[in-house]
Structure 1
Amino acid sequence: MKTALLISTYNWPEALELVLKSLIAQTVLPDEVLIADDGSRDETKALITKFKKESTLNINHVWHEDSGFRRTVILNKAIASTNADYIIQLDGDCIMHSNFIEDHIKNATVGIYLFGSRVNLTEELSAGAVKDQQIDFSFFTKGMTRRTRNIYLPKFGAFYKAKKELSKKVRGCNLSFWQEDFLKINGYNEDMTGWGREDSEMVIRLLNNDIYGKRLRYQGIIYHLWHPQAQRERDTINYEIQLKAEQQKLQTCENGIDKYLP
């Protein structure tokens, strides 16, 4: 099974540097690293170029011009560029637990997508982590919310079963799926621009294709750096698109990844 770690990023190289540092510390490395860049400036490009020179990893930096929040577009472009069997998706402001990639790979199962746990770091802890280049956080680290999500006990996670329903805990910053399943639903719906709902709408179409979702509890952990909330002026429109997919049991979308495929 060929795996690709997909990291989405936009104009926050300080956070991306920590994510890449946590990548090097992984117990299992991916076969490929896809950096889906939604139009970042030269500072991000310089960081990635430097990391590529210092690393033996296969790194593919997929970039397009900044034209507003187009996360769906850049994620589709990045996934279209790989022949990996399995995609592990992460946001560029989320530091990985050292077993993060190994946990997703060990739990990869045909007919199932996975979603892991996100521990939120406070503004103060996030600033300190960036300053000190901190990537390790214990259960007792001060400045964490959702602290119980930082308990690492994979054997307990085995009690969680796959379900055919949309969980409120699904987040695109900690998600993995088979590329074959993603292509079947035509990837992300690019009608969804601006912040909000693009991940849950995509997952609904997976569910409508009988791809069940399983939560990685007590494993698959990430640490989310604090940042101001994104503008949410498109949330209502995106919610209507999600609702349509749910009510009409849509299995694919028209404006998706197919336009980038060979």
Structure 2
Amino acid sequence: MKIEGKVIVVTGAGSGMGRELSLLLLSRGASVAGIDLKLDSLEETKALASEAGSKFLAVELNITDKEKVAQLPVMVKSHFGAVDGLINNAGIIQPFVAVNDLTDDLVKRVMDVNFYGTYYMTKAFLPEFLNRPEAHIVNISSMGGFIPFPKQTIYGASKAAVKIFTEGLYAELRNTNVNVTVVHPGAVNTNITQNSGLKLERPTNDKANKLAMPAPKAAEVILKGMERNKYRVKVGKDAALLDFLYRLYPAFATRFIGKMMEKNLPDM
């Protein structure tokens, strides 16, 4: 789907990759309904797009609130007149601890934001999309959605759920006007740790941080995949390499990731 002239909803638009996606969409002639928990962060995004004006609608909303999410399509349509696409970008990670040390409340929070938030948003907008000449749903999974990362097991499970949910949607909608894309980012330099409400007591490996893809570059890769109606988009060489390795040697790849995590998080 060509982006120019379209109305796209972006969750997590107040910072990180969601902000970069919103800015890039605006720069390419789209209108954006930005969704985030923090209205002031959305206003910062709007300010960065100096000529956005009425083309950026800031909506303060918790995507885990099913009833309020259900009202979003009417709000977006009343402002823009139509809605053509959805990028489910908002997500959080878990504390860097083993499953045995996680509380049920933490597990529920990760699943609510990452999976149910994506599901609620998709269910809310899909009826509108089916009535459009062309529409597109982009769901952000993770390389953690296809290969396990120790001490991010629940995060990975939530992103694996997003992966299969999105692939199932693709199969169900393949003979309609609605295109569907699942995205697997590798390491991207964003503030997801802070946005997840976590305080990482030990610094991650500096070299790993430098190798992480800048968020603006990741946004470019994602939107290119959207415009080409790609089924699956891998963002970063790390995601591509681990996808290949895991398909060939799952157990070896799992042990390899464990060793890498030990280096980046020394007290694992």
TM-score per shorter chain, which class? Answer: 0.3 to 0.5
TM-score, normalising length: structure 2: 0.35
TM-score, normalising length: structure 1: 0.36
Which structure's residues are more often helix, by fraction?
A: 2
| Relative contact order, higher structure (CA 8 A, sep 6+) | 1
